[in-house]
Structures are given as C-alpha cells and as structure tokens.
Amino acid sequence: MKNLSLILSILSLAGVIIIFGMQSGSSKKKTAVTTGTVSDMPAGTGRIAYVDIDTLEAHYDYLKTKKDEFESRQQRMESELQRSAQQLQQDYMELQQKAQAGTLTQAEGEKAQKRLLQGQQSLETRQQSLAEQLIKERDEFNEEIHNLLDSFLTEYNKDKGYDFILTYTKSGQIMYADKRLNITQDVIDGMNAISRSRHNTKEASQ
C-alpha cells in the first residue's frame, strides 16, 4: 500500500468572531453609555453630547439577543464540522487498520484514499461556506443596527439641538468625557422602546 497517509484536522469557525462592530472603522460608528444628566450640562461647553458604546452594547436588548443568537449558531456550526471531521478521521483509522492487517488490496486502498480526500475537501468547502454565511449575516445585522441608531438619533436630536453627538469608549481616542454630556441612557431607553414596539407589532400581525 502506498500514499495512504492523510492529514486530517478538526476544522472550526474559530476565525469568525461574532462582534457587532459598533467600534471604530471607516464604515462603522461608535456608540456608548455611562451615567449623567444632559440637562445639567455646564454652560459654555457647546451643543455636544456623547454616547458610550460599551454601555449601549451591554444594555441594548435587541443587540444582546441577536448576539446570543449568532453565538449559538456559531457553536452549532462548529459542532457540525467537528462531527464530520471526527467521522473522517475514524474512516481513515479503519482504513489504516485494514492496510496493516493485509486485508486491503491496492485498488481498494486507492479508491478509499480518493474518497477520504474528497471528504476532506468537502469538509473544507463546508467550513468556508459556513464562515462566509456568518460573516454576511453579521455585516447585514451591523448595517441594520447602524441604520436604527442613525434613525433614532436624527429623531432624538430634533428637540435637543446638538451640533455633534460623539461616541466614547474606554479604549477610544477621547481620553476624558464629562458625564454630564452623556446621553447614552436616553439612547438605550429609546432604542429598547423601539425594539419592544417592533416586537409587539410583529407578534400582533402573526
């Protein structure tokens, strides 16, 4: 028997990290949360407010729910790939045992090796397909979140009159932010209210 060695690895989606990037990026926005009352804004600071993205991500219910759903889906996909890889590994071990016992002809071995190689290629293709699917769904959801946030802030700012609404994160470029300029809680409350309304409307239509 020749060329029966086959390198198999357990494939996973570990490279597909589910992060709903409202962090920095050319096509992404930052958003955040702390505590403070905007109405107590000190005089002379200008019409500026900020949102703490870390707090927003921690308390925006729709975002948390979708993140849990994505992580659960990722785990199911990884389990599927691992089961397939383990089965492929088992088939290979059985083939090796037959070869060592001398019960496998060269023609049978070559046929089995071809089948294993095809199985490995199929597994790799499946892994790539699942990874691309997750990335596509994540990007679409990120865009949805950003559109929802843009829409909310546009409506929110109609009677607030801020010239700028900035984003703040502990690891961001803004080193200090006066908590009295923080409108994050307003954003959380408003976005959660919109999510609940959408959910109730959806259930009522079913």
- pLDDT, tens digit, 9 for 90 and up, residues 112-157: 888 988 998 999 999 999 989 988 988 999 899 999 999 999 999 9
The pLDDT of residue 2 is: 42
Q: What is the pLDDT of residues 151-181, one digit of tens each?
A: 999 999 999 999 999 989 888 888 888 898 9
CA 9 to chain CA centroid, Å, is 24
Best-predicted range by mean pLDDT among 16-30, 42-56, 58-72? 58-72
The pLDDT of residue 18 is: 38
User: How far is CA 14 from each of CA 10, 20, 90, 121, rounded to the nearest angstrom?
Assistant: 11, 16, 23, 19
Calculate mean pLDDT across residues 69-90: 89
What is d(CA 77, CA 103) in angstroms, rounded to the nearest whole number? 37
Q: Which helix (H) or strand (E) holds 141?
A: helix 106-156
